[in-house]
Amino acid sequence: MKGETTYLLGVDLGTQGVKIALYTPAGEKVWMAGAAFTTSYPEAGRAEQNPLDWWRALREVLKQLPDSINPAWIGGMAVCATSSTVLLVDREGVPVIPAIMWMDTRAINEMAEINSGQTARVQEILRYSGGKVSVEWMVPKAIWLKNQGLLKPGYKVVEQLDWLNFQLTGNWAASQCNATCKWNYVKQKNGFDRDFFAAIGWSDFAQYWPADVLPVGEQVGTVTAQAAAELGLPAGIPVFQGGIDAHIGMLGVGAVEPGVMSLIMGTSFVHLVHTEKPVFQDGLWGPYQDAVLPDSWLIEGGQLSCGSLISWFFEQWYPQQSEEAKAAVYRELLEQAAHIEPGSNGLVMMDSWQGNRTPYRNPYASGAIVGLTLAHTKYHIFRAILEAVAYGTNNVIRFFRDADIPIERIIACGGGVKNRLWLQIISDVTGVPIEVSNETEAGTKGCAAVAAYGLGYYPTLAEAARNMAQSGEVYTPDPQAQQAYGAYFQTYLALHQALFPIMQNLKKHEEQKHSLASGLGEAKLREEG
């Protein structure tokens, strides 16, 4: 379809809400809108959402489409989403329990079981995910559902992306991007290895997962009449397979060459680099074969608590502020923090408030602020948050370089790029130039690139990305600040060594307290019954 007026619809389901945008095949943004949804935290380590909120948000945003835009001009669409946000659904695709968010750590025991006592076959498959599974991923969560006795004949265990594509098209299909990066799918080992899954205690996995695994850009189906009626779209729009929000964001910023890191700055940070050959390095995720681009390998790092730390800061110091008041406060915070010297006057923070993803893969890690004195102010704490996340990014880059993966340039996108001070701090700490994509919402732009490729506007996904991405401002390291940060970064590393054992003991103590309280509550209910 190559008419004069063709728009590409990109849908990005994030942790805090959905963003939807229309682009031309040349990459020009025509329209964008979004809607929020909430996350519940029923107990320590758990995070859940109601999947029906995602569909309601999608419907709400599409109602905002201007009258000047004819929905019939939408030539194709693609979706990207958080991962692994896991759903258990019945035969009709109706969610049985709340969605288990990517940041949820309830499957710690299942993760530990998979990572310990590995057979040779398990070790061979796990080589392609950095040697271990993460508590965030699909497989530990799916086995947790199995261990809870929740899996029944006809049920499916799927991701947020799979469910939304099913709602749109009526077809179940897993994304090769998600499956490779989070489901232990190894293309050169015949995809899902049955011996691997039998060894980790889930031999009947195929009953519960979609049978089809489609690469990014392949057509999942078309928008059904029912979905079209609910969303106000024409039936029959082609829906092309997307992937993980951050990974599809690489296409949105044009980070498709080796040596270029895509840095997605959101609730969490994701660091992604393509390589021409597989690179095996403990502490990093991957190598992932053809996860986004064909004939390419993807290496991934990540930080769990980033933008969420700033949200926490606002909730504690400035609760119940209007959006206008928040904007004014934010300007003040940035102005005051900019006058504080690198290192926040001896304040060093650990950014592992929800655990550490890269390079330690430690779900027991938590936050810490070290060096507080009566001379410190909230502005020092605010700057220390920005610096802590920068230290974490530098630690990730350290592991990339240890694996002989060059990081010559960073292309940043996401909500965090609006914070100019933060970008400069990250450049100073890492010593790497940071280029800001003109498209802050890389997920929607990446989805548009997927749709443009799927419709035949470009011969490859990489060509679609190169032609549709637009670069913007560049931040370069300040040598003086970089030197000053060196000692603070070493302190940051030392804190992990010193505090991780204490954090693990604290978390296990809280888990035991909760387990005891739950047992007493159940006993009381039995007595009353």
CATH code of the domain containing 194: 3.30.420.40
Residue 358 has pLDDT above 50, yes or no: yes
What was the pLDDT predicted at 321? 87
Question: pLDDT by residue (tens digit) across 459-490?
Answer: 999 999 999 998 889 999 999 999 999 999 99
Helices (H), 259-405: 307-317, 323-338, 378-402
Asked if residue 38 belongs to a domain, the reply is yes
Closest CA to 175 of 167, 183, 276: 183
Please give the sequence-ordered ranges of beta strands (E in DSSP) within 236-373, or none if there are none: 238-244, 260-265, 269-275, 285-289, 297-303, 348-350, 368-370
Asked if residue 453 belongs to a domain, the reply is no
What distance in Å separates the CA atoms of residue 327 and residue 324, rounded to the nearest whole number?
A: 5
What distance in Å separates the CA atoms of residue 39 and residue 57, rounded to the nearest whole number?
A: 14
Residue 527 has pLDDT above 70, yes or no: no
Average the pLDDT over each of 1-10, 163-172, 308-317, 353-362 and give the range with the smallest value: 1-10
What was the pLDDT predicted at 3? 45
Residue 402 has pLDDT above 50, yes or no: yes
Per the DSSP assignment, residues forming a β-bridge with 302 are 270
Using N-to-C axis directions, what is the helix angle for 138-147 and 108-115, rounded to 10°? 110
Cβ-count burial of 341 within 10 angstroms (0-12 exposed, 13-18 middle, 19+ buried)? exposed
Residues 6+ apart with CB under 8 A from 433: 409, 410, 427, 474, 475, 476, 477
Six-digit token pair at 408? 């010559």
Asked if residue 41 belongs to a domain, the reply is yes
CA distances from residue 157 to 161, 201, 243 in whole angstroms, order as listed: 12, 16, 17
Question: pLDDT by residue (tens digit) across 493-514?
Answer: 999 999 999 999 998 887 777 6
What distance in Å separates the CA atoms of residue 325 and residue 329, rounded to the nearest whole number?
A: 6
What distance in Å separates the CA atoms of residue 111 and residue 58, rounded to the nearest whole number?
A: 33
Question: Are the beta carbons of 250 and 465 closer than 8 angstroms?
Answer: yes
Helices (H), 116-241: 120-126, 138-147, 160-169, 176-182, 194-199, 225-231
Give how many domains the chain has, as a whole number. Answer: 1
Asked if residue 206 belongs to a domain, the reply is yes
Six-digit token pair at 117? 């006592």
- Residues in the chain, total: 529
Of the chain, the percentage scoring pLDDT greater than 70 comes to 96
Six-digit token pair at 139? 């497989």
Question: pLDDT by residue (tens digit) across 190-241?
Answer: 899 999 999 999 999 999 999 999 999 999 999 999 999 999 999 999 999 9
Question: Are the beta carbons of 221 and 208 closer than 8 angstroms?
Answer: no
Question: Are the beta carbons of 344 and 387 closer than 8 angstroms?
Answer: yes
The model's pTM is 0.85
Closest CA to 176 of 99, 281, 288, 279: 288
Closest CA to 49 of 118, 98, 16: 98
Residue 2 has pLDDT above 50, yes or no: no
Asked if residue 159 belongs to a domain, the reply is yes
What distance in Å separates the CA atoms of residue 390 and residue 392, rounded to the nearest whole number?
A: 5
What distance in Å separates the CA atoms of residue 81 and residue 217, rounded to the nearest whole number?
A: 15
Question: pLDDT by residue (tens digit) across 255-313?
Answer: 999 999 999 898 889 999 999 999 998 889 999 999 999 999 999 999 999 999 999 99
Residue 1 has pLDDT above 50, yes or no: no
What distance in Å separates the CA atoms of residue 183 and residue 189, rounded to the nearest whole number?
A: 13
Closest CA to 281 of 189, 188, 393, 405: 405
Residue 92 has pLDDT above 60, yes or no: yes
Q: How does residue 114 score in pLDDT terms, banded at 50, 70 and 90?
A: very high
Domain that holds residue 96: 7-253
Q: How does residue 518 score in pLDDT terms, banded at 50, 70 and 90?
A: low
Closest CA to 127 of 135, 139, 118: 118
What is the pLDDT of the chain when averaged over all its residues?
93
Six-digit token pair at 516? 């005891």
Six-digit token pair at 326? 């928040």
Residue 389 has pLDDT above 80, yes or no: yes
Of the chain, the percentage scoring pLDDT greater than 90 comes to 85
Residue 50 has pLDDT above 80, yes or no: yes
CA distances from residue 189 to 195, 230, 415 in whole angstroms, order as listed: 11, 41, 37
Asked if residue 325 belongs to a domain, the reply is no
Asked if residue 71 belongs to a domain, the reply is yes
Question: Are the beta carbons of 11 and 58 closer than 8 angstroms?
Answer: yes
What distance in Å separates the CA atoms of residue 390 and residue 422, rounded to the nearest whole number?
A: 8
What was the pLDDT predicted at 44? 82
Residues 6+ apart with CB under 8 A from 482: 428, 429, 431
Torsion of CA 39, 440, 403, 134, to 10 degrees: 10
